[in-house]
Amino acid sequence: MRKKLWAWGGGAAAAAVAGAVVALGLSGGGGDTTPAPRARQYTSFAACLLTDAKGITGPQAAPVWAGMQDASLATHAKAGYLAVAGPETEANAQAYANTLIQHRCDLVLAVGKAPASAVRKLAPSSPKSRFITVGSGSTLHNVSFIAATSKTRTAVARAMEAAVDASSKE
């Protein structure tokens, strides 16, 4: 009789453990086991920086690029850049600016004399794009201007965040 009780008791314990395992499995394990995504999930907004031949390491472009990176972290907008190779002329820079426009950059920032001049010239024919010149320039319909100061990084980040916000409301 004692052996039957042990057998029944052992069987009941095994059934209870099996039931608990099944219940835990069906309930999802009590916690989210989905791993966090490793890649940043970007929005469809793209901001592009047009620089002189020095690229993003140049003294004018470095704080602009840093501000764009700050805004990208805050908004999940894509940020990229293109350096003008060859002669530092408006005509040469226009080809590079057109490349950014054709790649559907929602916001094009320009640093340097030739890139800024090219952007101001192309802006009227690209009304759906927004442009920002940094360092020198003037404000037009779809072109804004940010002075090159010690606060350029913050000003660029704010301007890019505002552009991302405005595009999400369109």
Question: Alpha-carbon distance 139 to 135, whole Å?
Answer: 12
* pLDDT in the model for residue 19: 52
CATH of domain 46-168: 3.40.50.2300
Instruction: Per-residue pLDDT tens, the chain, 170 aa: give them.
Output: 555 544 445 555 555 545 544 454 555 555 556 666 666 677 889 999 999 999 999 999 999 999 999 999 999 999 999 999 999 999 999 999 999 999 989 999 999 999 999 999 999 999 888 999 998 777 778 999 999 999 999 999 999 999 999 988 76
Whether this model's pTM surpasses 0.85? no
Both structure tokens of 146 = 């940010």
Residues 6+ apart with CB under 8 A from 110: 49, 50, 97, 116, 118, 119, 131, 132, 133, 134
Question: Alpha-carbon distance 132 to 140, whole Å?
Answer: 10
C-beta neighbour count of 83 within 10 angstroms = 18
* pLDDT in the model for residue 45: 95
